[in-house]
Structure 1
Amino acid sequence: MKLKTTLEQWLTLIEVEQAGSIQGAAQALNKSHTTLIYALRKLEQQLGMELIRVEQRRSVLTDQARSLLRRAVPMVEQARTLEAVSRQMAQGVESEITLTVDHLCSRQWLMEPLSRFFEAFRGTSVQIRETSLSATERAVTQRQADVAIITLPIENHLSDPFAVVTMVPVVAHSHPLAQQSSVTVEELISHTQIVVRDLGQGDPSEHQDVGWLRSQLRVTVDNFDHAWDAVRAGIGFCRMPAHRLPQGKPSEVVPLTLEGGGSYQVPLNLCLPKGEQTGVAARALYAMLLEQAQQPSFEGKYF
C-alpha cells in the first residue's frame, strides 16, 4: 500500500505545535513561511480534514490534528532512532553486547552508567548476566562477555579497579547468636551457615570455595537474594555484602562481632575479555562504568 503522507509532513505539523505558530516552525526548520503553509495545506488535502485554523490572527492546530499528533510523534521518533542506529551500524557499533557482573557487585552501581549508555547507543541491546567464582573467571577466559566486572584480576587479562565490597556476617534478630556481644569460631561451627554456590556450569570439581566454611550444617543457595531470605527467616548466619544491608534504619538482621576478624573486603575490577577485539559500544560502556567508579561520591569507592 502506497502512503499518501511523508515523515517530513508530520515533522512539520509537530514543529508547528511545538513552536506555537507557523512562523516559529519555519524558523526552527529553516524554511520559509510560504513553504510550510503549502506543506500543511497539502497534508490537509491528502487526509481530507482541517489541521490548522486561525484564532485571533494565530494559526493553531485543530483537535483532530492534535489527536493525530499523539500517533505521529512516536512515529517520527522511531524514524530518528532508525537513522541513528543505521549510522552506528555503519561505524561498526555492535547491535548487542554482554555485561557479566560478579554477584558481589551492587546492581545500583550499574544503573547510572547504563542510563547514559542507552542515550548514546540507542541501537545496542545489553545482556546482563550474573556470575560468581569460577563462572566469573570463565566469562573472561572463554570470552563470554564483552565487559566483565570481576573480583581478582585474571591471568593474561588487563583490568581496572572498580569498587570494593565489604562482606559482613549477619543473622536474624531472632537467631541465638544475635544475643551475644561476640562470637567465637567454635560457636559458629555448631550453627547453620548459608552459602552462595559457585554459578559455574563446568565440572563441579572445578567449582571454587571462598572464605570460612567450617560449619557442620550448610544451606547452599543460588544468589544473595535467596541468602537474605534465609537469614531473615532465622535459618542461619551468612556473610552478606554490606551494600545489601538496610542503611540508616532498624533491620531484621544484625551484624555479628566475630573474635579474630569477622568482616573482610573484596575488590571488584573491570575487564574487557575480548581485548583488542572489543567493539565500540562495549568500550564506551566500560568507560562509563570506570568514570562512575572515579567519582568522589561513588558508594563503592575503591580508594
Structure 2
Amino acid sequence: MRLKTTLDQWLTLFEIDKAGSIQAAAATLNKSHTTLIYSVRKLEDQLGVPLIKVEGRRAILTDDGKSLLRRAQSMLEQAKALEEISTQLAQGTESELTVAIDHLCDRRWLYAPMTEFFKQNHTTSIQVVETSLSKTQEMVTNESADISIITLPITNHPSEIFGITSMLPVVAKGHPLAEKLNPCLADLSATRQIVIRDLGHHAKQDVGWLKSNQRITVDNFDHAWQATKQGLGYCRLPLHIIEKHNDSDIKILKVEHSNQYQVPLHLTLPKGAKTGPAAQELYRLLLSEVNGR
C-alpha cells in the first residue's frame, strides 16, 4: 500500500496549529516559512480538502483540518514512541524484566517505584513473580530473576536492606481463641493453624512456630486472610496486610512469649555484573523508595 502523505507533513500541520502561525511553526521546526507553506499546500492537494485558513496574522485550521489532525495525532505519538523505543533498544535496554518479590513484602514498595520506571521506559515489560521460603532463594541462585526482593541475604549475592515486616498472630473475633486474654503456646497447639505453602520446587523450608495439631496450607496471604476471616483458625500475618484490611472482625492476639516477630527484607541483583540497564534503573528506584519511607 502506497500512502499519499508523510509523517513530516502531519507534523508540520500539528506545529502550525500549536504555534498559531506558520512563521512560529517554522522557527520551532527550524525550517523556512516558504518550506512550510509548500508542505501544507501539497498536503491539501494530496487530500483534496483545505486544511488552513489565514485570519489576520494567525494560521487557523479549517474544520476539516482539525478533524484530520485529531486522527493524525495518535499516529505522531506512536512514531515518537517508536523512535524512543529504538533508542532504548540500541542502548541494550532489556525487552523484559523478571522481578521476584517475597510474599512478606508490602507490594506497594514495588509498585510505587515501578510507576516511576514506566514514565521513562516505554520498551521494557515486567513479569512479577511472588515467592516464598525456598523459592525466594531459588530465584536468586538460579538467576531466574533480574531483581529479587528477599528475606535474608543469600550467599555470594550482595544485598541492600529494603524494609522490615512485622508478623502478628490474628484470629476472627468469633473464634474461641479470640476470647482468651493472653493465649499461650499450648492454646495455639490445640487450634487449627493457617500457614503459607513453600512455593519452591526442590528443598522445602519451614519457618516459625508450626506445632498446631491441624493445619490449613494455602499459596499466599490473600487466601490466608480469607480463611482466617472465615474463622477456620489462627494465622500469623504481615502487619501491612492487617492494616490494609483494617477489619474490625479480626483480632490481633497477645500470645504469651510469642507476641510478634520481625522479618528483614533485602534487595538483590541475582545476575550481578550481567544485570542490564533497565534492571539497574529499576533497582535504583527501589532503593530510593527505601529512603523515602
TM class, shorter-length: over 0.9
Which residue of the partner structure matches residue 263 of structure 1?
260
Deviation at 1:54, TM superposition (A): 3.1
Tell me the alpha carbon deviations over residues 190-244 of structure 1, each in whole angstroms, 9 at most, x when there is no partner: 1111111011123xxx111111111111111011111111111111111111111
Range 94-103 or range 241-250, more displaced: 241-250
Superposed counterparts of 1:59-208, under 5 Å: 59-202=59-202, 206-208=203-205
1:273 aligns with 2:275: no
Pick one of 204, 219, 222 that aligns with 1:225: 222
Deviation at 1:21, TM superposition (A): 3.4
Range 268-277 or range 47-56, more displaced: 47-56
Q: Which amino acid aligns with 1:9?
A: Q
The alpha-carbon distance between structure 1 residues 182 and 162, as it changes in their structure 2 partners (threshold 3 A), is same
Which residue of the partner structure matches residue 301 of structure 1?
none
Q: Distance in 2 between matches of 1:175 and 1:289?
A: 40
Deviation at 1:286, TM superposition (A): 0.7
Q: Which amino acid aligns with 1:219?
A: I
Q: TM-score, normalised by structure 1?
A: 0.91
Q: Distance in 2 between matches of 1:111 and 1:20?
A: 41
Deviation at 1:36, TM superposition (A): 2.0
1:251 aligns with 2:248: yes
Range 30-39 or range 129-138, more displaced: 30-39
Q: Distance in 2 between matches of 1:134 and 1:249?
A: 30
Q: Distance in 1 between matches of 2:29 and 2:101?
A: 45
Structure 1, unaligned stretches of length 5 or more? Answer: 299-303
Which residue of the partner structure matches residue 22 of structure 2?
22
Deviation at 1:67, TM superposition (A): 2.4
Structure 2, unaligned stretches of length 5 or more? Answer: none
SS in 2 for 1:211: coil
SS in 1 for 2:217: strand
Which residue of the partner structure matches residue 210 of structure 1?
207
Which residue of the partner structure matches residue 8 of structure 2?
8
Tell me the alpha carbon deviations over residues 151-185 of structure 1, each in whole angstroms, 9 at most, x when there is no partner: 10001111111111111111112222223321111
Deviation at 1:111, TM superposition (A): 1.8
Q: Distance in 2 between matches of 1:176 and 1:26?
A: 79
Percent same amino acid among aligned pairs?
55
1:238 aligns with 2:235: yes
Q: TM-score, normalised by structure 2?
A: 0.94
Q: Distance in 1 between matches of 2:275 and 2:91?
A: 14
